[in-house]
Chain A
């Protein structure tokens, strides 16, 4: 079997003062297929974590996202539950999530698609080569486009490119993506910080506290799925 050309690390935390089981971002990685995905369940919807996880799991294991099938799976998990009136009403509205997915082939060709404000960054030696679908830290709002577990057709934003060995990709939910852009807009590179976490993963939590306190990082579920495209001879797994 051909060794995977991808090393993948996830850094994630729930919103401050929230329990781990209240975290509603979701991510999935399938290095064998070069498929990676991240979704962010909307705060003001319920069963959003289930919906977000269904979407990312489907993306990394299937060539096409069959949204209607995923909606049926979500419905199968939640629609039979006995709930109080308010949770019943909220369930009827459906769950919502933003999404970004990345597929990199072993030859370095990559394509990505997104809906909402979950973002992808492509970095080479500290230089930002691509960032999408958001473009500036001031563009983030509380009403991004969302994929509904009940209805609608997502309007995907797409991007493609080519990766060289050593390149880094970041899939990020909105708070992390906005922080990334803020740093970039100051003329700095988040790459160095990610390098530090790679050396010592325990640095992520103090960084999170500090950046939330300073206001640079919005208090929200925070997720970074970091993917490195390796030379053929290199194999890493974290």
Chain B
């Protein structure tokens, strides 16, 4: 049986984000927000990290259940951390949480219990800034991710399998990424294979797609490629996704199209949890 290892401070797992920073990321995101894709990706990662940090937060600080890496690919393939984390590879979540580039004060609408809404202030940390320049060396980014993974797995061979999240708007410019994706998915800890998830931020104005079981509903060539590269969701993720009313099956893959990947944070089991929607923008 796989994907059953307990995630703990003594047996942490890791997330590696691959961030497309190619020139095309300057173009508009199809979700109708008026944002560039680069802004959409930066927001997606910042929101993911925010939710992950909150998940690990206790009254006395952050518990290091996760180590986090962010690899940007565009002009170069390199660590995309900034500020004091600059050039670092895998960083414990407590170090991430305590070292954002800045913390913005934002507001969100919450139900007031009387049919209306209230404005609630909240803090939104920013680690990754939007950037767009160069080509799309996705295959090279997957190779670098493998180097991170080899190191992590050598240090934590019994961990819950590491997870790689690739956020991109298009086709790679360097080579067919599928063999690299397959090589990543074949890496293992004693608890199972590394999981590769993909989020496609497209310029197409189409309905968001979450965790499809097949590619028949995907019209875009790149979306189909990314779907094929993605891991099948572990059964506990499927159960958690069903609990949140996602339309998933046992064949669902870790792929989203023009949609938020933050729900993955909620699928991870750290213990008894209240049902609380992701921190919103």
Chain A residues near B (Cβ < 8 Å): 17, 22, 40, 42-47, 78, 84-94, 96, 98, 142-144, 146, 148, 174, 219-220
Query: A44-B55, A85-B123, A89-B57 are known contacts. Are A17 and B10 too (CB-CB below 8 A)?
Result: yes
CB neighbours (8 Å) of B275 from chain A are: 143
Chain B residues near A (Cβ < 8 Å): 6, 8-10, 50, 53-59, 61-62, 97-98, 103, 122-123, 125, 243, 269-276, 279
Question: Would A43 and B54 count as touching, CB distance under 8 A?
Answer: no
Q: Tally of A-B residue pairs with Cβ under 8 A?
A: 78
Question: Would A44 and B271 count as touching, CB distance under 8 A?
Answer: yes
Could you show 6 A-B contacts with beta carbons less than 8 Å apart?
A: A40-B272, A42-B272, A43-B270, A45-B274, A86-B56, A143-B272
Q: Looking at the assembled complex, report how far the CB atom of B84 sits from the nearest CB atom of chain A, in whole angstroms.
A: 15
7 additional contacts, CB 8 Å, given A42-B272, A42-B274? A84-B61, A85-B97, A86-B54, A89-B122, A143-B275, A148-B274, A220-B271
Question: Would A85 and B274 count as touching, CB distance under 8 A?
Answer: no
CB neighbours (8 Å) of B56 from chain A are: 86
Question: Would A219 and B6 count as touching, CB distance under 8 A?
Answer: yes
CB neighbours (8 Å) of A43 from chain B are: 270-273
Question: Would A144 and B272 count as touching, CB distance under 8 A?
Answer: yes
Most central of B53, B58, B62 by chain A CB within 10 Å:
B58
CB neighbours (8 Å) of A90 from chain B are: 54, 57-58
Question: Would B57 and A46 count as touching, CB distance under 8 A?
Answer: yes
Partner of B273, one of A87, A94, A98, A142: A142
Q: Looking at the assembled complex, report how far the CB atom of B63 sits from the nearest CB atom of chain A, in whole angstroms.
A: 9
CA distance A43 to B125 in the complex (A): 23
Question: Would A42 and B273 count as touching, CB distance under 8 A?
Answer: yes
CB neighbours (8 Å) of A142 from chain B are: 269, 271-273
Q: Looking at the assembled complex, report how far the CB atom of B216 sits from the nearest CB atom of chain A, in whole angstroms.
A: 32
Q: Looking at the assembled complex, report how far the CB atom of B242 sits from the nearest CB atom of chain A, in whole angstroms.
A: 12
Question: Would A96 and B274 count as touching, CB distance under 8 A?
Answer: yes
Q: Looking at the assembled complex, report how far the CB atom of B112 sits from the nearest CB atom of chain A, in whole angstroms.
A: 12
Most central of B8, B9, B53, B59 by chain A CB within 10 Å:
B59
